[in-house]
Structure 1
Amino acid sequence: MTRDAAWVDLFLEAQSAELGAAKNTILAYARDLRDFADWVKIQCLNLSNLMQSDIESYLVHCDAQGLSRATRARRLSAIRQLYRFAFEERLRADNPAIRIKGPGKAQRLPKTLSEDEVSRLLDAAPNHGRTPSERCRNACLMALLYATGMRVSELVSLPTAAARGDPRMLLVRGKGGKERMVPLSPPARTALADWLALRDADETVRRAKGHAASPYLFASSGASGHLTRHRFYLLIKEISVKAQVDPDKVTPHTLRHAFATHLLANGADLRVIQTLLGHADVATTEIYTHVLEARLQALVLEHHPLAQAARRKTGGNTSSDGQ
């Protein structure tokens, strides 16, 4: 193993063992840093003597390859993390990446759903499924997702223990193993209690047949032991069709966005929403203020008398170019 490869492996091991980084995060770091290390090798350099100008040359190389601004920003972030680790572990006496400014990410407003669309999805969920058990489970999944704003991975892997005792709050294990408490609305508590009762009855039958008990609220016979993210993604598309909501608009993540946007629109504090979503930085949560601004702008363009007059003058269209 080369010295550069050893650096990368040490960094990945530290991220996994000490910081509890998620598997997908580790895989992303590995891909980005190995591409970087390959480029360094081609330049006949090594990670231990690289200068700031060399890292900047690599970013220029990435740009020339046609990589998106978001990808280049992610790669620079991985390089920064690597050299911070190297500096802290005394593999290097300096950090050549510390002063490099990245390309930044193009701000894209998250897609969301109206309150009416969410209501239709929640109404459709209890009627979708081949069996009473599936229909009850689907109702619970949708109610919990919208009531808590959980990430889909957090939702499908919920342990049954978290749902015991008619909880007012759920303990959720998020990114990096960080835990947070999220409150449950009365409808979500009802849906959860109904599903838990049915699930426990099904579990009793399974145990009688010699099957081991599952620790998961949404158990599955697959390798993970619980409903997969992919299956839930397909499930939510099926429910959207039944609810007559455009399936292209509906994903588990748009329900999470709807949770945050609707809370903010109804007066919730941004810091509270940050805590509920499990965002490490409030800057991540601030994107929802821009979603509201865009919605308010569209509302004014649609309903303000001056905008309506302008549409009549221009034959029915009000330009919103660049907005």
Structure 2
Amino acid sequence: MSFREVVEKFIFGKSKNTMKTYWSLYRSLEAFLNDNQLSLQDATPYHFKAWITNFRTANTQAEAKRFLSALLKFLGAYEQLSNLKSLLREVKPDFSKFRVDLNIEEIQKLIEACYPIEYKFAVSLMALNGLRVSEVLGLHWQDIDTQNDTITLQRREGEPYYPKGMALNDKPIRIPLNHVSKELYNILYNGSASHEGRILPMSYKTFLKWHYRFTEGVLNKPYRITPHKLRHAFAHVWLANGGSIRKLQAMLRHKRLETTTIYSEPSEKELTNEFELVLNKALR
């Protein structure tokens, strides 16, 4: 039985999303085996470890580990699976899930490249206001106040998208609105026949399709820019330009300051820049 036939049997009956993920990983593993002139039977745990470490992010490495573990169980290769698990404990992603090195110029470049305008508006709110996807998708027209330059975040009964952790009886939260999103909102408002309900009546799945189309096509980064990474990028820009971490906590709506400090994990470039700044000042 060929490797492809094995995988077809292995993924049969799994959910649509799992099948899609596993099929993509199968193609990657098959290419790796072909490049190294190996069959599935000849591959050792060390080969599998090398394949997994080719993935640069924690999420994709975790998916690859799950795929391999499930495949080896399916094949009954329990000894090989045990050896692989021991090796995989040593595998660490090259990039922290929290570390982001997007600067304001790259954020502006991304926003400019995005279309349609609905998606451009969404990205501007995440990258320049620190909003989560659920918060962006849950915004109604009246939540944007262009007179006072504010955004109101609230949970509405029956709505699928709302601020994380907010209950129906919680008071709405008001935060400042950035001027880029304000301009985009005005264009959307003037071009819309109706101003009832959500500004962006799209699903999370549709949003993700647009998101990865642009982040992977415009910004050449060695890690995947998830929607939440734009929120982290906002935090980095805030702190890099003299914003205080306590006020950042309020902007991000974190209950604990410790959570906000996670968002301040420096990139290698930020660490180098500050090191040179501090050391040069000390040596004067």
TM value normalised by structure 1: 0.47
* Matches of 2:274 and 2:146, distance apart in 1: 47
2:174 alignment partner, SS class: strand
Number of residue pairs matched by the alignment: 172
* Matches of 1:301 and 1:148, distance apart in 2: 28
1:156 aligned partner: 137
Aligned match of 1:187 in 174, 180, 186?
180
Distance 1:295 1:284, change over 3 A: farther
The offset of 1:248, in angstroms, is 4.3
Could you tell me whether the CA contact under 8 Å between 1:171 and 1:180 is conserved in 2? yes
- The answer to whether 1:111 aligns with 2:99 is yes
2:228 aligned partner: 253
* Matches of 1:111 and 1:229, distance apart in 2: 24
* Amino acid corresponding to residue 234 of structure 1 in structure 2: K
For residues 18-56 of structure 1, give each alpha carbon's deviation from its aligned partner in whole angstroms, at most 9, with x where no partner exists: xxxxxxxxxxxxxxxxxxxxxxxxxxxxxxxxxxxxxxx
The offset of 1:268, in angstroms, is 0.6
* Matches of 1:278 and 1:123, distance apart in 2: 27
Could you tell me whether the CA contact under 8 Å between 1:109 and 1:291 is conserved in 2? no
Identity of aligned pairs, percent?
Answer: 23
* Matches of 2:259 and 2:274, distance apart in 1: 26
Distance 1:172 1:245, change over 3 A: farther
Distance 1:247 1:237, change over 3 A: farther
1:283 alignment partner, SS class: helix
Could you tell me whether the CA contact under 8 Å between 1:145 and 1:155 is conserved in 2? yes
2:265 alignment partner, SS class: helix
2:250 aligned partner: 275
1:289 alignment partner, SS class: coil
* Matches of 1:268 and 1:300, distance apart in 2: 16
1:181 alignment partner, SS class: strand
Distance 1:166 1:284, change over 3 A: same
The runs of 5 or more residues in structure 1 that have no matched partner are 1-107, 129-134, 204-212, 220-226, 306-323
Could you tell me whether the CA contact under 8 Å between 1:180 and 1:276 is conserved in 2? no
Higher mean C-alpha deviation, range 111-120 or range 258-267:
111-120
The runs of 5 or more residues in structure 2 that have no matched partner are 1-95, 155-162, 280-284
Distance 1:281 1:124, change over 3 A: same
Could you tell me whether the CA contact under 8 Å between 1:136 and 1:195 is conserved in 2? yes
1:206 aligned partner: none
* Amino acid corresponding to residue 124 of structure 2 in structure 1: A
1:290 alignment partner, SS class: coil
Q: CA RMSD in A?
A: 2.9
TM value normalised by structure 2: 0.53
- The answer to whether 1:297 aligns with 2:271 is yes
1:170 alignment partner, SS class: strand
Distance 1:165 1:301, change over 3 A: closer
The offset of 1:144, in angstroms, is 1.7
